[in-house]
């Protein structure tokens, strides 16, 4: 199955979007059903343990987080991340134990591949995104290729496409909301000059 | 309910009301899932991948779930030491026959292979516990299409590296080459026949009970052939002694081929009952049945016809890749070979025919017989090819057909593919169909409408079906591992009531009505005094079951033969009691009379009482009045007919409206015309379904993406037209009843009739052929890309 799309975020810079989408905690917060997303080095990932350790961990993300802090914990090319995502597809609610490797991270392009499995279903995917700055803000162009197996696959694209669209839209809406606050925080001159501090990181 | 003959006064041939229906309509009828209400429930974990190595199966969490009684894997089954190998029942030269275990242990080959079974007190708990089982797989690439599977990676079975299970051919290829060289013209078509999912209203089910004291195992199941299931479970999978294994098929809600086969699930259920020494049952969900039960068709074909300018057909050449799925079911090899290639002559004097069929393993649900099995695929090829040729020659479809029909005086007619047709008056049925539909007027109307940019299409299809499966010796010579006879017992009770036992197994056909009509006719006993017993291996001595349009010709033949034997014994007793010479005893309407002395008579029911008293019967004669027959047909029977579909196609939307549908069928003598008509109606519906709606679709990963009725398109009532049916009667000369069978005929005729009609409608758009299903999108795309007029 192939999915792709573009998403426009107004009044932001490419650097801000890049930083936001590089932050595992931003992804965790914005992605519906995501219980944790953490870097792992081991081959045999214990998802139960990771959930116990990380399920409640919610450090500040942009705009509250300090940009330097976010940059320090950003995705690393070649590193693997474990995530637990609960989906709701029709009557099926699988919890996918997934491992995703960042295969490329080179501003403004990032790509990843991974796989996940639940009790009755599994997937294998690869995805990329690219940022382009426009007059009004930033356009995120993205695409994903996924092979789905098991019970979910039997529901067919009739069920999967709407779910995928819902998740993607919620995700980008949520990221856009956070980034809008980055701009707002800037305009209101509250605290530090966030926009400049993000830019300085590049 | 009383059943009376119609105005003819003859019970055989009367539209007697079905005695099955009151129980079915009032909900009194008991299906498999109604049995053993207190049994534990089995749920079966299916592979989520179409192809994978199985690494580890961890069942501990499922075992600890509240309400779970036990969890079993393929290793548990192996460890129990049973034979554990589902066999195919038809051998072909060079056939590869990989082992087919009840549960996978090292490798899964389609998304549906059983991996583990949970037994729980509650059905829902059993299903929920499946999610607790942790399976580690190493996924492999899958192959799902037969033509692409051959010679390609991945390999479904190590034993067949190129995925070829068999490479079959029939006919005289040299004679075909000569015919093609000599003919004025060659027409050809490449076509695909998509996978069809059989959809009986009741998905498969099994309930099993084991008595450790007596070692008796009873399995109620959705079976079209309980004795075949008993034999296979006994000898090939469970290894339970045949004399201590009882298979019961209670009411069965449709089959269409799906319930012929021995699948793992029913045997797993029986194995669990034995293992746990308690009653268990399994009921497939609709989606589970979609991924595990057989599919039908799945052919990719190239066909050529050598024909002269005047329409004389000289020869035919066919090459087909047939998908078999991941495992060979019992008729998987026969369906695309001997049931397919041998019918390619249809109603025509084609002469030289050659057909090659390559059977390919794929990572999909198994493919085997679906209503019309093989014959439907074969007739579709010939009847499509004829329309392509007619267009090439500038002849009307009816003209080309008529020019090549086998004449009545050519019977018995031996085809170029080894069949000997028993009897036929093909032109009579074809004329009748064309007369009802007013063919010539339709052609005029079609021309008028085209002027107004409206597109009417008229599709004609003739067909012959090889029915009455099957003469045992011939089938044996061709590779069958089973006989084709049928067993029938006719037993008078002392009171004059009659029990008829037959090895066929009803799934909705109405055997309890029709076989009673056969016995009533022969015995002269009121039909209400006759009970028909089927579907129980402890009651019926032996049997081959119901499929291949065999119950009336072969089952009916067995019952009629036994009834005749009973009448002969009764005649001897009557002669003895009436003190007359046996040659002078006449039998009519249930009464034995001395010729010329009608006052000296005795009713057959009274003879029955005398037979059981044994006080006054001939010396040397045993008491009792019953007979058993193993009727082995001399040949197949060959029903035939002509179907005509009239459609209007909207090129802007691709919609097809079936405006008229005429079916003229000849199934020889009809035991019950109402039931015959019902078979025709249902058959047309399924034939139209294949033509316009149905296709089982797999994605590249081997997932069945049409895995439920939401996604698999079955025709609904408003998609189907009124049917105009009629029949001609050409008795089978070798069948005791003159019947030919009718279960599959209409499915075979309807599909090519409808496709021919749609292609005919699209003639102005230069469309020569379209592959099924002819969805709106298929038609719209064809019209759009051809450019249209």
Percent of chain B with pLDDT over 70: 99
User: For B167-199, what is the HEC assignment?
Assistant: EEEEECHHHHHHHHHHCCEEEEEEEEEEEECCC
Those residues whose C-beta lies under 8 Å from the C-beta of residue A176, and which sit 6 or more positions away, are A7, A9, A12
Pick the closest to residue B628 from B742, B499, B737, B491 (CA basis): B491
Q: Are B659 and B685 in contact (CB under 8 A)?
A: no
Pick the closest to residue B102 from B113, B89, B90 (CA basis): B113
| Partner B contacted by A148 (CB < 8 A) | yes
Backbone phi, psi, residue B608, to 5°: -60, -45
Is the pLDDT score of B757 beyond 80?
A: yes
- What pLDDT is stored for residue A14 in this prediction? 93
Pairing mode, strands B724-727 and B655-666: parallel
- For A121, the closest chain B residue by CA position comes to B48
Those residues whose C-beta lies under 8 Å from the C-beta of residue B258, and which sit 6 or more positions away, are B198, B200, B204, B289, B293, B294, B370
- What pLDDT is stored for residue B789 in this prediction? 40
Q: Are B83 and B239 in contact (CB under 8 A)?
A: yes
For residues B72-77, give the mean pLDDT.
Answer: 98
> How many other C-beta atoms can be found within 10 angstroms of the C-beta atom of residue B308?
14
- What pLDDT is stored for residue A162 in this prediction? 86
Structure tokens at B118: 């949970």
Interval B325-347: pLDDT, tens: 999 999 999 999 999 999 999 99
Instruction: Spell out the domains of chain A, with CATH numbers in brackets.
Output: 2-199 (3.30.530.20)
- How sure is the predictor about B245, in pLDDT bands with cuts at 50, 70 and 90? very high
B interface mutation test: which of A145, A154, A155 has the most B CBs within 10 A?
A154
Cα R_g (chain A), whole angstroms: 17
pTM for the model stands at 0.95
Is the pLDDT score of B587 beyond 70?
A: yes
| Partner A contacted by B113 (CB < 8 A) | no
Say how far apart CA A18 and CA A131 lie, in whole Å: 8
Residue A179 burial by Cβ neighbours in a 10 Å radius (0-12, 13-18, 19+): buried
| Partner A contacted by B710 (CB < 8 A) | yes
- Minimum mean pLDDT range among A67-71, A155-159, B508-512, B519-523: A155-159
- For B128, the closest chain A residue by CA position comes to A119
CB contact under 8 A, B703 and A154: yes
Q: Vertex B385, ends B380 and B391: CA angle to 5°?
A: 135
CB contact under 8 A, A122 and B705: no
| Partner A contacted by B357 (CB < 8 A) | no
Q: Model ipTM?
A: 0.86
How many Cα atoms within 13 Å fall on the side-chain side of residue B429? 35
CB contact under 8 A, A156 and B705: yes
CB contact under 8 A, B710 and A158: yes
Is the pLDDT score of A189 beyond 60?
A: no
Pick the closest to residue B665 from B698, B649, B643 (CA basis): B643
Distances (CA, A) of B540 to B226, B231, B491, B757: 10, 14, 12, 46
Is the pLDDT score of B668 beyond 80?
A: yes
SS3 of residue B315 by DSSP:
strand
Distances (CA, A) of B161 to B137, B139, B143: 22, 19, 13
> How many other C-beta atoms can be found within 10 angstroms of the C-beta atom of residue B635?
19
SS3 of residue A25 by DSSP:
helix
Cα R_g (chain B), whole angstroms: 27
Say how far apart CA B362 and CA A78 lie, in whole Å: 37
User: For B442-478, what is the HEC assignment?
Assistant: HHHHHHHHHHCCCEEEEEEEEEECCECCCCHHHHHHC
Give the mean pLDDT of chain B: 97
Q: Are B306 and B221 in contact (CB under 8 A)?
A: no
- For A95, the closest chain B residue by CA position comes to B131
Provide the sign of the torsion angle of the four alpha carbons A22, A26, A32, A34, taken in this order. Answer: positive
Interval B380-429: pLDDT, tens: 999 999 999 999 999 999 999 999 999 999 999 999 999 999 999 999 99
CB contact under 8 A, A156 and B48: no
Pick the closest to residue A49 from A106, A97, A101 (CA basis): A97
- How sure is the predictor about B738, in pLDDT bands with cuts at 50, 70 and 90? very high
Chain B positions touching A125 (Cβ under 8 A) are: none
Residue B516 burial by Cβ neighbours in a 10 Å radius (0-12, 13-18, 19+): buried
For residues B106-120, give the mean pLDDT.
Answer: 98
CB contact under 8 A, A119 and B704: no
User: How many A/B residue pairs have CB atoms within 8 Å?
Assistant: 50
Q: Are B523 and B563 in contact (CB under 8 A)?
A: yes
| Partner A contacted by B704 (CB < 8 A) | yes
Chain B residues 684-703 within an 8 A CB cutoff of chain A: 699-701, 703
Is the pLDDT score of B92 beyond 60?
A: yes
Q: Are B59 and B119 in contact (CB under 8 A)?
A: no
Chain A positions touching B701 (Cβ under 8 A) are: 147-149, 153
- What pLDDT is stored for residue B334 in this prediction? 98
CB contact under 8 A, B707 and A122: no
- How sure is the predictor about B219, in pLDDT bands with cuts at 50, 70 and 90? very high
Question: Which one is predicted more confidently, B36 or A179?
Answer: B36
Interval B138-151: pLDDT, tens: 999 999 999 999 99
- What pLDDT is stored for residue A163 in this prediction? 86
Say how far apart CA A47 and CA A121 lie, in whole Å: 17
| Partner B contacted by A200 (CB < 8 A) | no
Q: Are B565 and B629 in contact (CB under 8 A)?
A: yes
- How sure is the predictor about B669, in pLDDT bands with cuts at 50, 70 and 90? very high
Q: Are B772 and B690 in contact (CB under 8 A)?
A: yes
Percent of chain B with pLDDT over 90: 97
B interface mutation test: which of A44, A120, A153, A161 has the most B CBs within 10 A?
A153
Chain A positions touching B132 (Cβ under 8 A) are: 119
Is the pLDDT score of B68 beyond 60?
A: yes
Quickly list DSSP for B372-411: TTTHHHHHHHHHHHHHHHHHHHT--HHHHHHHHBPPGGG-
CB contact under 8 A, B48 and A148: no
- What pLDDT is stored for residue B39 in this prediction? 98
Q: Are B662 and B459 in contact (CB under 8 A)?
A: no
| Partner A contacted by B287 (CB < 8 A) | yes
Nearest to A158 among B131, B139, B711 (CB): B711
- What pLDDT is stored for residue B788 in this prediction? 45
Those residues whose C-beta lies under 8 Å from the C-beta of residue A89, and which sit 6 or more positions away, are A152, A155, A159, A160, A163
Distances (CA, A) of B534 to B68, B511, B527, B561: 36, 9, 17, 17
């Amino acid at each position: 199955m192939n999915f792709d799309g573009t998403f426009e975020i107004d009044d932001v810079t490419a650097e801000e979007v890049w930083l936001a989408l590089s932050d595992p905690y931003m992804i965790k917060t914005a992605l519906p059903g995501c219980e944790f997303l953490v870097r792992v080095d081991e081959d045999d990932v214990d998802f139960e343990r990771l959930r116990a350790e990380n399920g409640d961990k919610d450090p500040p993300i942009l705009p509250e987080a300090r940009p330097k802090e976010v940059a320090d914990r950003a995705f690393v090319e070649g590193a693997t991340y474990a995530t637990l995502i609960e989906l709701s597809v029709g009557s099926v609610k699988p919890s996918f134990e997934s491992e995703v490797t960042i295969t490329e991270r080179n501003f403004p392009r990032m790509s990843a591949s991974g796989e996940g499995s639940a009790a009755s279903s599994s997937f294998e995917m690869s995805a990329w995104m690219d940022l382009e700055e426009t007059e009004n803000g930033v356009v995120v162009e993205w695409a994903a290729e996924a092979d789905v197996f098991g019970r979910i696959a039997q529901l067919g694209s009739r069920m999967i496409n709407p779910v995928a669209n819902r998740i993607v839209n919620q995700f980008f809406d949520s990221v856009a909301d956070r980034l809008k606050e980055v701009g707002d925080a800037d305009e209101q001159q509250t605290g530090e000059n966030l926009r400049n501090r993000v830019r300085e990181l590049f | 309910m009383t059943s009376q003959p119609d105005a003819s006064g003859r019970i055989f041939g009367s539209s007697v009301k079905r005695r099955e229906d009151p129980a079915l309509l009032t909900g009194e009828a008991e299906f498999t899932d109604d049995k053993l209400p207190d049994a534990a429930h089995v749920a079966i974990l299916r592979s989520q991948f179409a192809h994978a190595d199985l690494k580890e199966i961890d069942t501990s969490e499922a075992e600890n779930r509240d309400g779970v009684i036990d969890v079993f894997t393929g290793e548990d089954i192996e460890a129990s030491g049973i034979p554990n190998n589902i066999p195919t029942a038809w051998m072909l030269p060079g056939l590869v026959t990989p082992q087919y275990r009840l549960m996978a242990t090292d490798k899964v080959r389609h998304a549906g292979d059983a991996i583990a079974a949970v037994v729980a007190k509650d059905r829902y708990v059993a299903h929920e516990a499946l999610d607790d089982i942790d399976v580690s797989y190493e996924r492999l690439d899958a192959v799902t299409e037969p033509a692409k599977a051959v010679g390609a990676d991945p390999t479904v079975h190590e034993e067949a590296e190129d995925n070829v299970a068999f490479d079959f051919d029939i006919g005289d290829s040299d004679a075909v080459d000569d015919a093609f060289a000599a003919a004025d013209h060659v027409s050809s078509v490449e076509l695909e026949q998509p996978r069809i999912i059989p959809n009986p209203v009741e998905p498969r089910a099994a309930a099993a009970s084991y008595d450790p004291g007596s070692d008796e195992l009873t399995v109620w199941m959705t079976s079209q052939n309980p004795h075949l299931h008993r034999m296979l479970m006994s000898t090939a999978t469970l290894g339970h002694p045949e004399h201590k294994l009882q298979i019961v098929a209670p009411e069965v809600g449709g089959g269409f081929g799906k319930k012929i086969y021995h699948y793992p699930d029913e045997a797993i259920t029986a194995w669990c009952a034995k293992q746990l020494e308690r009653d268990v049952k399994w009921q497939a969900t609709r989606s589970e049945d979609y991924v595990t039960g057989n599919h039908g068709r799945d052919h990719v074909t190239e066909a050529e016809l050598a024909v002269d300018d005047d329409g004389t057909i000289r020869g035919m050449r066919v090459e087909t890749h047939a998908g078999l799925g991941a495992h060979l079911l019992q008729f998987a090899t026969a369906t695309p070979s001997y049931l397919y290639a041998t019918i390619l002559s249809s109603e025509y004097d084609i002469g030289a025919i050659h057909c090659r069929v390559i059977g390919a393993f794929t990572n999909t649900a198994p493919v085997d017989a679906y209503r019309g099995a093989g014959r439907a695929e074969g007739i579709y090829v010939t009847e499509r090819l004829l329309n392509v040729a007619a267009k090439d020659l500038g002849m009307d479809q009816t003209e080309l057909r008529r020019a090549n029909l086998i004449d009545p005086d050519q019977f018995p007619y031996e085809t170029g593919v080894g069949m000997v047709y028993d009897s036929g008056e093909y032109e009579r049925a074809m004329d009748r169909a064309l007369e009802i539909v007013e063919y010539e007027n339709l052609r005029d109307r079609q021309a008028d409408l085209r002027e107004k940019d409206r597109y009417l299409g008229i599709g004609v299809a003739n067909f012959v079906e090889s029915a009455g499966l099957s003469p045992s010796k011939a089938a044996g010579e061709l590779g069958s591992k089973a006989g084709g006879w049928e067993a029938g017992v006719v037993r008078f009770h002392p009171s004059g009531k009659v029990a008829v036992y037959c090895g066929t197994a009803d799934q909705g056909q109405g055997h309890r009505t029709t076989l009673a009509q056969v016995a009533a006719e022969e015995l002269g006993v009121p039909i209400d005094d006759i009970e028909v017993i089927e579907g129980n291996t402890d009651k019926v001595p032996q049997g081959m079951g119901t499929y291949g349009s065999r119950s009336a010709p072969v089952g009916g033949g067995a019952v009629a033969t036994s009834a005749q034997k009973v009448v002969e014994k009764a005649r001897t007793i009557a002669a003895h009691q009436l003190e007359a010479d046996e040659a002078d005893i006449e039998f009519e309407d249930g009464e034995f009379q001395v010729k010329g002395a009608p006052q000296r008579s005795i009713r057959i029911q009274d003879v029955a009482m005398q037979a059981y008293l044994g006080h006054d019967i001939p010396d040397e004669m045993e008491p009792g009045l019953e007979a058993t027959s193993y009727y082995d047909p001399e040949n197949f029977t060959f029903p035939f007919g002509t179907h005509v579909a009239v459609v209007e196609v909207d090129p802007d939307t691709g919609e097809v409206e079936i405006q008229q549908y005429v079916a003229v069928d000849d199934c020889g003598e009809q035991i019950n015309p109402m039931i015959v008509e019902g078979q025709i109606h249902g058959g047309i519906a399924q034939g139209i379904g294949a033509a316009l709606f149905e296709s089982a679709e797999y994605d590249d990963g081997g997932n069945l993406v049409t895995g439920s009725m939401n996604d698999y398109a079955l025709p609904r009532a408003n998609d189907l037209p009124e049917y105009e049916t009629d029949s001609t009667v050409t008795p089978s000369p070798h069948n005791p009843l003159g019947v030919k069978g009718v279960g599959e005929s209409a499915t075979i005729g309807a599909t090519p009739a409808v496709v021919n009609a749609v292609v005919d409608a699209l003639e102005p758009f230069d469309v020569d052929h379209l592959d099924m299903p002819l969805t709106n999108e298929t038609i719209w795309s064809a019209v759009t890309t051809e450019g249209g007029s």
